[in-house]
């Protein structure tokens, strides 16, 4: 018995196949997809050979020392390749999704797509599935090279699975951000720029701010007053302007209207006040524990799941204290941080998904 229209609209996997098939055929047609796969595979092979050659010089004649050196090579190989895949997904995923709806608008096929009986959820999921399927293919190109690390030792299959899960969660989040920007702006150039700004800011903004704050406090005790004044001025400008731009951009995307000039000035003043407190309040960084700001960062979580340690001194102290006072091991602590990061990425993807559906409903009402 044929399904009703409502039943078809509520089945996201079966009735997204036409759009998914169209997207995959258009994406794999031509030399662009083949070139991206070739570049991803070539970079993985080149980086793997580079890591193996540079680290094999530490191998000694003693069996115990050789085993430790082999384990170090395997861990470095896995960490380098997974970091490469994370960077590739950061730069490729927004490019795959930022033009999903804007290209339809430019080719004058968006109205036909929205007038189909498919629901907005099916359309969005089909666009997302097609982008994620290409990301999976890119990951599969590097996994054979990463599997060589198992021969050296130092890593286990569970670490590889958690690293791949972290990359896929990041791809889902950044892919949904690209879809939202595409349907919000309906211009490929603007959607690409905004989606890249949000995605790169998610990964790089907080580490850069923490690095600048630490640089200032390291140089604050120097006798060179002119250099301290210049560095403080740059920090105030960065710490006040960059968060203001991101906050204003996110509020404009959610409210669908530009903020008033007075609102932007008020935001800049608020962030400038916080920056002044961080720079000039004694012990402000120690009170706020800037190491915790990196706790849910994808790059830091990738490092923790593959090495069992954190690059942040404060987080390492927490790991040591928990291991001494309770049954929580360093590996379990790293796993919990990865789960927190995956949850945060999926929460961001869900928020972008809801905003994308709202924009699609608005476009359908305009067409109707």
Q: Profile the chain (368 residues) by mean pLDDT over runs of 10 residues.
A: 43 58 71 83 88 72 62 84 87 88 85 81 86 86 84 82 88 92 88 88 77 68 62 77 81 77 85 78 57 64 68 46 45 72 88 89 83
pLDDT, position 325: 40
Tens digit of pLDDT for each residue in 177-190? Answer: 999 999 988 888 88
Distances (CA, A) of 361 to 118, 325, 366: 12, 54, 9
Q: Which among 110, 88, 82 has a CA at the least distance from the CA of 174?
A: 88
pLDDT, position 70: 79
Q: Which among 12, 23, 92, 80 has a CA at the least distance from the CA of 49?
A: 80
Q: How many CB atoms lie within 10 A of CB 220?
A: 12
Alpha carbon distance 359, 171 (integer Å): 21
Alpha carbon distance 318, 334 (integer Å): 11
Alpha carbon distance 250, 202 (integer Å): 12
94, two tokens = 């927004």
3-class secondary structure per residue, 133-171: HHHHHHHHHHHHHHCHHHHHCCCCHHHHHHHHHHHHHHH
- CB-based contact 123:19 (threshold 8 Å): yes
Give the CA angle between residues 92, 95, 100 to the nearest 5°.
135
pLDDT, position 17: 66
Measured in degrees and rounded to the nearest 5, phi and psi for residue 94 equal -60, -35
Measured distance between the N- and C-terminal CA atoms of the chain, rounded to whole angstroms = 31
Q: Note the maximum CA span of the chain.
A: 84
Alpha carbon distance 12, 6 (integer Å): 12
Q: Which among 43, 79, 140 has a CA at the least distance from the CA of 299?
A: 79
- CB-based contact 273:280 (threshold 8 Å): no
99, two tokens = 């033009």
Alpha carbon distance 347, 345 (integer Å): 5
pLDDT, position 7: 43
Q: Where are the domains of the chain?
A: 23-367
Q: Can you say whether residue 283 is alpha, beta or left, with left for phi > 0 and alpha for psi between -120 and 50 degrees?
A: left
- CB-based contact 220:227 (threshold 8 Å): no
């Amino acid at each position: 018995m044929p399904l009703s229209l409502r039943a078809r609209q509520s089945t996201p996997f079966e009735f997204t196949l036409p759009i998914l098939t169209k997207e995959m055929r258009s994406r794999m047609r031509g030399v662009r997809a083949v070139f991206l796969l070739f570049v991803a595979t070539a970079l993985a092979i080149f980086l793997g050979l580079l890591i193996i050659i540079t680290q094999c010089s530490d191998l000694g004649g003693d069996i115990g020392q050789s085993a430790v050196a082999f384990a170090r090579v395997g861990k470095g190989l896995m960490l380098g390749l997974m970091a490469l895949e994370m960077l590739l997904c950061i730069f490729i995923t927004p490019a795959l999704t930022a033009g999903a709806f804007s290209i339809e608008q430019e080719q004058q096929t968006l109205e036909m797509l929205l007038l189909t009986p498919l629901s907005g959820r099916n359309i969005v999921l089909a666009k997302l599935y097609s982008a994620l399927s290409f990301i999976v293919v890119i990951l599969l190109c590097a996994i054979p090279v990463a599997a060589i690390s198992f021969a050296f030792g130092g890593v286990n299959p569970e670490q590889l699975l958690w690293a791949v899960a972290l990359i896929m969660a990041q791809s889902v989040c950044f892919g949904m951000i690209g879809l939202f920007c595409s349907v919000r702006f309906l211009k490929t150039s603007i959607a690409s720029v905004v989606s890249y700004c949000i995605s790169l800011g998610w990964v790089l903004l907080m580490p850069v701010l923490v690095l600048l704050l630490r640089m200032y406090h390291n140089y604050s005790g120097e006798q060179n007053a002119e250099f301290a004044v210049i560095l403080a001025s740059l920090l105030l400008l960065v710490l006040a302007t960059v968060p203001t731009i991101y906050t204003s951009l996110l509020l404009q995307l959610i409210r669908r209207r530009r903020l008033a000039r007075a609102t932007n000035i008020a935001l800049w003043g608020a962030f400038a006040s916080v920056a002044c407190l961080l720079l000039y309040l004694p012990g402000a960084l120690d009170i706020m524990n800037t190491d915790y700001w990196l706790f849910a960062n994808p790059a830091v979580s990738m490092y923790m799941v593959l090495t069992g340690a954190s690059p942040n001194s404060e987080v390492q102290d927490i790991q040591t204290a928990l291991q001494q006072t309770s049954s929580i091991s360093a590996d379990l602590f790293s796993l919990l941080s990865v789960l927190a990061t995956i949850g945060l990425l999926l929460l961001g993807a869900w928020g972008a998904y809801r905003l994308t559906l709202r924009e699609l409903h608005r476009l359908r009402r305009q067409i109707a």
